[in-house]
Amino acid sequence: MELRFGAVAHRAEVYVNGEKRGFHEGGFVPFCVDVTDCVRYQEENRLVVLVNNELSDTSLPAGETEILKSGRKKAVPYFDFFNYSGIIRPVWLMSTPRHRICDYSVRHEISGKDACTWYQVEIENPEPDIRMEVRLWDEEGKLAAYSEGMEGKLVIADVHLWEVRNAYLYRLELRLFQKDQLLDEYSEEIGIRTVRIQGTEILLNEKPIYLKGFGRHEDSPVLGRGFSLGFLKRDFELMKWIGANSFRTSHYPYAEEAYQMADREGFLVIDEVAAVGFVKRAGTAMFTAAGSGKRPESFFASPTVARLKQNHLEALKEMIQRDKNHACVIAWSLFNEPESNTVQAGEYFREIFEAAKAWDVQKRPCSFAMALSSQPEDVVCHQYCDFLCMNRYYGWYVKGGSEISDAKEAFLEEMERWAALDPQRPMIFTEYGADTLSYEHKLPSVMWSQEYQIEYLKMYHEIFDRYDFVRGEQVWNFADFQTVETTGRANGNRKGIFTRDRQPKDGAFLMRRRWLES
Ligand code: CKU
């Protein structure tokens, strides 16, 4: 008997009937606590979860904890989203057999009209006379492939591939037997597709794709970061309406239901681990409290970096472990806007990238989202990236309040330097956006007005369309979201194309025209 917590931000101690039964660090992935021998059957039991969301330079996400005069603690995030805490996703009580299927992984190969799905199943308490039957059912309920054994291959003739915004899901069924007795069974819907990078193209099923979509947040009024199937469904319907085909799980792994929905709807996901705030000064004081200033010259030169790396690797492993079989997950993002131009950063990055490749049987492309401080001449970390992810704010943090043509010129100048130095990899814009208040209108446009958001977006699109190596655009952000209180934020980050309660700003209609027409 186990308790399975979808996620508890950022760390949890679990007590059952007064006894400590588990601890988990990391607020965005599930964990289980075995309660077999401490629950009282047919009686009342007391479950207590002690939750802590303090931030430090070894937590993911990173930050500080300030002690206020009142003695109360205040989170000082090195990131731009509200530091919500608590049991943010569903909790399950699971009863499982002694011999159980505890994990599986799949990897696909396509040849002509057929496909081959390599699988590997893990079970608990194996015994010699235990055997596994594996079936793959198509959407009509017909058997598409069969195999036996803990690992092997499923050969699918005339395969129906999982395509962008045109998903096809088979049902993989695993059945564990001892003689003729069924011990355990598990089934899940899986999409069959391949993904790889060749030159400046991202190939899905060997065909080039272009990402259209958003950086998102798990954030909604009233619920904060609390999971809501209703909001998730609404978000997907809006993404379909606007013609998007992808999103990045900025800045942490989302609820499992989000990936299931993305699998079903054919959305491409860049899955991001919560390695955010890894800079010696948190972006600009514009969008987050500045912190104590105690941080050393290089974030990665801190004496606590070994502990940070351990937490980072653990969080990465847990994300890959959880999400590895999803067709929708086409890439891993291993950091958001870290320091990326010091020798120490280079060393740290190498290990993180190597781990991601080693742990993912599908060997998906890996990247990290680069801040403006990552410039082609001095960034030492982008060499590890299979594709480049750019977060750019020309016309907002850079040359905001000037003429949009000035911002364009500065942006073009940077693009030319990337084109000259690194033209051989795909580039995706994982952030570009302008804060926009849904009630603000002005001509000529000013920052924060709806007119300005449109002008800003159009300028970016003109530039994207000039470069063949640009293979995707994800606007920052899908919807307005809560942040810390600061002068640069109007009750939260307002860069949403939709408001926080999911109504369109004017920019939504521009995006819809662009994405549905191309
Ligand atoms: C976004 C310097 C850019 C950092 N990027 C990260 C993201 O989390 C923020 O919300 C910028 C912004 O709107 O400032």
H and E: helices and strands count for the chain: 7, 30
Dist. CA 216–CA 474, nearest whole Å: 9
pLDDT on residue 281: 60
Q: Residue 418: which residues within 8 A CB-CB, separation 6 or more?
A: 376, 388, 427
Phi (first) and psi of residue 372, to 5 degrees: -55, -30
How many CB atoms lie under 10 A from the CB of residue 472? 23
Kindly report the protein residue whose alpha carbon is nearest to atom 8 of ligand 1: 80
Catalytic residue, candidates 272, 337, 440, 455? 337
Kindly report the protein residue whose alpha carbon is nearest to atom 14 of ligand 1: 287
DSSP 3-state assignment of 396? strand
Dist. CA 266–CA 167, nearest whole Å: 5
The answer to whether the CB of 480 is under 6 A from ligand 1 is no
431 Cα: distance to centroid of ligand 1 (angstroms): 8
Q: Which of the four pLDDT bands, split at 50, 70 and 90, describes residue 408?
A: very high
The answer to whether the CB of 362 is under 6 A from ligand 1 is no
Average confidence score pLDDT of the chain: 94
The answer to whether the CB of 82 is under 6 A from ligand 1 is no
The answer to whether the CB of 493 is under 6 A from ligand 1 is yes
pLDDT digits (tens, 9 = 90+) for 364-391: 999 999 988 888 887 788 889 999 999 9
96 Cα: distance to centroid of ligand 1 (angstroms): 43
The H or E element containing residue 514 is helix 506-517
The H or E element containing residue 264 is helix 256-265
pLDDT digits (tens, 9 = 90+) for 200-242: 999 999 999 999 999 999 999 999 999 999 999 999 999 999 9
DSSP structural state of residue 369: E
The H or E element containing residue 235 is helix 229-242
Catalytic residue, candidates 431, 440, 455, 473? 431
Dist. CA 49–CA 98, nearest whole Å: 26
* The amino acid at 175: R
431 catalytic, yes or no? yes
Give the count of alpha carbons within 13 A of 362, CB side only.
29
CA 418 to chain centre: 25
80 Cα: distance to centroid of ligand 1 (angstroms): 6
The answer to whether the CB of 478 is under 6 A from ligand 1 is no
Comparing CA positions, the residue from 2, 49, 53, 4 lying closest to residue 26 is 53
Question: What integer is the mean pLDDT of 74-84?
Answer: 94
Atom of ligand 1 nearest to the CA of 397: 2
CB 202 within 8 A of CB 471: yes
Is residue 286 scored above 50 in pLDDT? no
Dist. CA 155–CA 175, nearest whole Å: 18
Give the count of alpha carbons within 13 A of 42, CB side only.
0
382 Cα: distance to centroid of ligand 1 (angstroms): 19
Dist. CA 232–CA 218, nearest whole Å: 9
Helix ranges (H only) for 267-342 are 305-323
Question: What integer is the mean pLDDT of 184-199?
Answer: 98
Q: Which of 391, 396, 456, 484 to mutate to test the pocket of ligand 1 (most atoms within 8 A of CB)?
A: 391
The answer to whether the CB of 287 is under 6 A from ligand 1 is yes
280 Cα: distance to centroid of ligand 1 (angstroms): 16
**∠ Cα 180 182 184 (to 5°):** 155
The answer to whether the CB of 57 is under 6 A from ligand 1 is no
443 Cα: distance to centroid of ligand 1 (angstroms): 26
Atom of ligand 1 nearest to the CA of 433: 13
pLDDT digits (tens, 9 = 90+) for 250-261: 999 999 999 999
Report how far apart, in Å, the C-alpha atoms of 477 and of each of 205, 358, 429 are: 28, 31, 12
Is residue 287 scored above 50 in pLDDT? no
- The tokens describing 360, both together, are 């993912």
pLDDT on residue 371: 87
The answer to whether the CB of 263 is under 6 A from ligand 1 is no
pLDDT on residue 263: 98
Question: What integer is the mean pLDDT of 169-181?
Answer: 97
Q: Which of the four pLDDT bands, split at 50, 70 and 90, describes residue 98?
A: very high
